Structure 1
């Protein structure tokens, strides 16, 4: 079985590393340390030149996924920016106060994104009933759901992922994400039946220049998309397919 690898990136350097190493789709973000926010227009313009599909995250702030009118206005404008940039799609998610999907807002955003691809992000992992939410995602027209199986780490959510794949029955793709690594990707795919996986493929980078850290221009340790990790992930998936 062929399994697609989507790599999430939040910089020009990460984008280049992922594409050059063979990533088959890109999720474009800023601020991956908080789960990903909407990328800049400049990064979108650069990503539009990539030879693989690029989906931009639409998330105006960190924190929960319950959005007020001001944030909704921002999200609509960001969807317009994605369209103007020529990217393949958008990554959406929104909740109501009890964690269920905000169907009305998602329908409104999806309509604004008409003609582009749609991924439902891990706001899905907070819903009280994932099987109900899966049917709602299909009704809203999403192509795929990015999910860890409602666990912090995907390796602990495999049972739920398997149930989602079975219920989806080809009507929507279930993409495993949240702690997918070269060392566990084969087991995740084999035990859940997912046909797509999502990973940042990042490695820790420690800054030797204490001046940058002292002035607050950099954290002591950051994470960057790593080309070797992308290649290892693809290698593990290729071995699984043979």
Structure 2
């Protein structure tokens, strides 16, 4: 059975996702900039009721994915702190000035996060050479790539997503996300043959996940 991750920007969304069958929660702050590191108290309070896996975003700010030495140091400190809060994994991604995968820094964070798995987030969609980027992310030790196929949404990037799944050959999980909804998840599954999917399940302009949408996303997974 394929699995569903819900991106939650607040505790209420996490509770809704939990109650409606999400296999994993990605907890973030910073809805307006696509996700930043969540408040520690939100992580603590979410962990109290959540029985499924809880991944946390490690991203200092919105904008690009090239970070200063100070920002990189803070990312390391955040990983060390959140490891103590019984999370199950981390979500981050660092590029260099040429929008290539920063192998050295990403590898350092992945090693710091061990034994917890790490997802390389949609910074992947900024790279110019996605085939090389996939190999680089694998070499860093990530377990998953969250991507819309280097496009703004999964439908525009569906052909690239299919190629990534094929190239990955089960060495890493390719998780389509970005504009994924219950109305298109069947099509994305059929074309890409991915096994893990990602959505915010926000359909009404708010910052709250919609319970019916989560239920339908989960129901439509094969």
TM-score with structure 2 setting the length: 0.97
State the Cα distance separating 1:139 from its structure 2 match: 1.3
d(CA) in 1 for partners of 2:5, 2:31? 14
d(CA) in 2 for partners of 1:199, 1:32? 13
**Equivalent position of 2:213 in the other structure:** 229
Q: CA RMSD in A?
A: 1.0
Query: Which piece of structure 1 moves more, 45-54 or 35-44?
Result: 45-54
State the Cα distance separating 1:134 from its structure 2 match: 0.9
State the Cα distance separating 1:112 from its structure 2 match: 1.4
State the Cα distance separating 1:228 from its structure 2 match: 1.1
**Equivalent position of 1:25 in the other structure:** 24
**SS, match of residue 51 in structure 2:** coil
| 1:38-74 CA-partner distances (Å, limit 9, x unpaired) | 0011011122231101110000001000000111111
d(CA) in 1 for partners of 2:51, 2:189? 26
Alignment of 1:86-105 (within 5 A): 86-105=86-105
**Equivalent position of 1:51 in the other structure:** 51
d(CA) in 2 for partners of 1:33, 1:180? 18
Query: Computing the radius of gyration over CA atoms, which structure comes out larger, 1 or 2?
Result: 1
d(CA) in 2 for partners of 1:113, 1:194? 25
d(CA) in 2 for partners of 1:40, 1:153? 27
Alignment of 1:1-242 (within 5 A): 2-49=1-48, 50-204=50-204, 222-237=206-221, 241=222
Unaligned 5+ segments in structure 2 are: none
d(CA) in 1 for partners of 2:82, 2:202? 24
CA contact (8 A) 1:4 1:195 kept: yes
d(CA) in 2 for partners of 1:171, 1:103? 17
| 1:116-168 CA-partner distances (Å, limit 9, x unpaired) | 11100011111111111111111111111000000101101011111111111
CA contact (8 A) 1:82 1:89 kept: no
State the Cα distance separating 1:33 from its structure 2 match: 2.4
TM-score with structure 1 setting the length: 0.89
CA contact (8 A) 1:36 1:59 kept: yes
Unaligned 5+ segments in structure 1 are: 206-221
